[in-house]
Amino acid sequence: MNSTIPIIDIDPSAGFCSGVNRAIRIAEENLEQSGQLHCLGNMVHNEAELERLKSLGMNFVNQNDIGPETEHVFIRAHGEPPETYRMLEENSNHVVDGTCPVVLRLQRKVKESSRIFHEKGSGKVVIYGKPGHPEIIGLLGQTYGNAILVKNIDEAHQLDFSEPMAVFAQTTANEDDYNLLCRFIAEQSFLKTASQHNVEIFYSICRQMSQRVPTLRGFAKSHDIIIFVSGSESSNGKYLAGISREINPRTYVVKDVTEIGDWFQITDRIGISGATSTPLWLMQSVADYIKSSFEQKQ
Ligand code: SF4
């Protein structure tokens, strides 16, 4: 190793989850054959990756842009509600489905719980997540009008705790907050009904998300400085960068190499991390840039 170049590591747990990687792989394979795909919504919250996909022939569109003349429509990892599939079928669009298998399983479970409550005539599906998030829209679309979305404990105060409930979380939800919410609902339900069986809790947070925070904490601790690569719109990026900064105050957020400053010392062990929407190639380009800037100083 050249002693005048600091150690630069890329966080092995950073970057796209397997569901997004899979969706991108499916899209790339199809683009090779069809030359053009219309993706419903943005694939990831990362401008550089969106530009790369656009250069391969991907168009990012909304539902109003889709008509019978649209040939190939791509569904991203977050999934879609049944109405979307109905609309695409009526249009006879060719659908390339990149829905993450974990999201698909969650959709099925939500649908099943909702169906059972619907047939019994009582009960609510409670979904913890972010209003307007595409995965939430896809999950609510599975239900028979008996679902309630809650975004925090305050909103959960309005639930009817005398009713049976099945509680689910968006796959990317914060695990600690979800645990608090579930405890609150279970306690309130018990107080109201004296039964511990009125509420069924599903731990539907994706393991790749729940493991991300402890792994990042360890990575931030074991490096002198963290360069956190994330698109400006990524809420996951803001959250994870905050976690990194709590452990390592020398955490800098950049969208790409153009935002890198003169922050390094030769003795630093440098860590490159990123949001779940940050592609590995972008983190590698940041590592290469830092390395070459030290090489140029020699
Ligand atoms: S469920 Fe997990 S693997 Fe699938 S898209 Fe969500 S975070 Fe990624």
CA of 18 to the centre of ligand 1 (A): 7
- Residue 114 pLDDT: 98
The rounded Cα 254 to chain-centroid distance in angstroms is: 19
Q: For residue range 229-241, list pLDDT tens digits in order.
A: 997 777 788 889 9
Residues 186/201, Cβ–Cβ less than 8 Å? yes
- Residue 4 pLDDT: 77
Ligand 1 pocket member 106 (CB < 6 A): no
Give the Cβ contact number of residue 171 at 10 Å: 25
Ligand 1 pocket member 173 (CB < 6 A): no
Q: From CA 129, how far away is CA 149, in angstroms rounded? A: 7
Walk me through the domains of the chain, giving residue ranges and CATH numbers: 7-15+210-297 (3.40.1010.20), 18-99 (3.40.50.11270), 102-205 (3.40.1010.20)
pTM over 0.85: yes
Average per-residue pLDDT in the chain?
94
Site to probe by mutation for ligand 1, drawn from 75, 106, 208 as the one with most ligand atoms within 8 Å of Cβ, is 208
Nearest to 203 by CA among 228, 175, 225, 177: 175
Q: From CA 249, how far away is CA 241, in angstroms rounded? A: 10
Contacts of 128 (CB under 8 A, 6+ apart): 149, 150, 151, 167, 168, 169, 170, 173, 177, 178, 181
- Residue 277 pLDDT: 82
- Residue 65 pLDDT: 94
Contacts of 60 (CB under 8 A, 6+ apart): 39, 41, 42, 43, 50, 54
Q: Is 27 strand, coil or helix? A: helix
Ligand 1 pocket member 100 (CB < 6 A): yes
Mean per-residue pLDDT, 204-227: 94
Q: For residue range 41-52, list pLDDT tens digits in order.
A: 999 888 889 999
CA of 100 to the centre of ligand 1 (A): 6
Positions of E strands within the chain: 7-10, 37-40, 58-61, 72-75, 94-97, 124-128, 147-150, 165-169, 199-201, 225-229, 251-254, 269-274
* Active site members: 135
Residue 181 has pLDDT above 80, yes or no: yes
Choice among 84-88, 174-178, 285-289 with the minimum mean pLDDT: 174-178
User: Which residue owns the Cα nearest ligand 1 atom 3?
Assistant: 19
- Residue 82 pLDDT: 97
Give the Cβ contact number of residue 214 at 10 Å: 11
- Residue 3 pLDDT: 56
- Residue 44 pLDDT: 87
Q: From CA 85, how far away is CA 68, in angstroms rounded? A: 13
- Residue 1 pLDDT: 47
- Residue 51 pLDDT: 94
Residues 136/229, Cβ–Cβ less than 8 Å? no
Mean per-residue pLDDT, 6-20: 93
Taking CA atoms, 183 is separated from 59, 178, 196, in Å, by 43, 9, 12
Q: What type of residue is 43?
A: M
Work out which ligand 1 atom sits closest to the CA atom of 18: 3
Q: For residue range 72-117, list pLDDT tens digits in order.
A: 999 999 999 999 999 999 999 999 999 999 999 999 999 999 999 9
Work out which ligand 1 atom sits closest to the CA atom of 208: 2
